[in-house]
């Protein structure tokens, strides 16, 4: 199903219980949240925006889960490698490779962090998360600021 015309998808965000999709229309930001089968739509109109922010964060859930994955697979590899024998290469390839992948994800999260553009309205807010597209986060922030400025100060050059 394609979105109605005039809506541009800016980003998606998945969380434990659902998923949200953020769109931009001519007069507002729209968020469609799907939570356990229920769809909720909220809007923040450009002329109701109080603040627009751009920041980075690491979070605690993703690094914790990846660190636990590194610890688990490293422990499995160490236990099987301690037994020795011909199963050493099987242990390294089957359990060492996932440990390296978890470690890579952990280090990337610490190094890159997640860029978040937040648009605060009077009653609600819109959050856009960007993992890898740092330039797109900056563009989205600048575009949001420009549209809010134009809606709140009509007739002034941008």
What distance in Å separates the CA atoms of residue 10 and residue 79, rounded to the nearest whole number?
46
Buried b (16+ CB within 10 A) or exposed e, 13-41: beeeeeebbbbbbeebbbbbbeeeeeeee
Q: What is the pLDDT of residue 157?
A: 66
- How far is the CA of 5 from the CAs of 87, 141, 152, in angstroms? 59, 23, 24
Residue 1 has pLDDT above 60, yes or no: no
pLDDT higher than threshold 60 for residue 37: yes
Q: How many residues does the chain have?
A: 158
- pTM of structure: 0.80
At 150, is the pLDDT very low, low, confident or very high (cuts 50, 70, 90)?
A: very high
């Amino acid at each position: 199903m394609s979105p109605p015309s005039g809506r541009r998808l800016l980003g998606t965000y998945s969380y434990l219980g659902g998923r949200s999709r953020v769109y931009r229309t001519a007069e507002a930001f729209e968020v469609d949240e799907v939570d356990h089968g229920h769809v909720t739509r909220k809007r923040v109109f450009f002329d109701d925006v109080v603040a627009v922010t751009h920041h980075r964060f690491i979070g605690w859930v993703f690094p914790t889960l990846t660190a636990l994955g590194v610890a688990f697979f490293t422990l499995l590899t160490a236990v099987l490698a301690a037994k020795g024998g011909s199963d050493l290469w099987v242990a390294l390839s089957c359990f060492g490779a996932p440990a390296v992948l978890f470690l890579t994800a952990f280090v990337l999260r610490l190094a890159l962090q997640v860029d978040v553009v937040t648009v605060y309205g009077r009653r609600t807010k819109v959050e856009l998360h960007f993992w890898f597209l740092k330039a797109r986060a900056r563009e989205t922030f600048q575009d949001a600021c420009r549209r809010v400025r134009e809606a709140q100060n009509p007739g002034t050059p941008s």
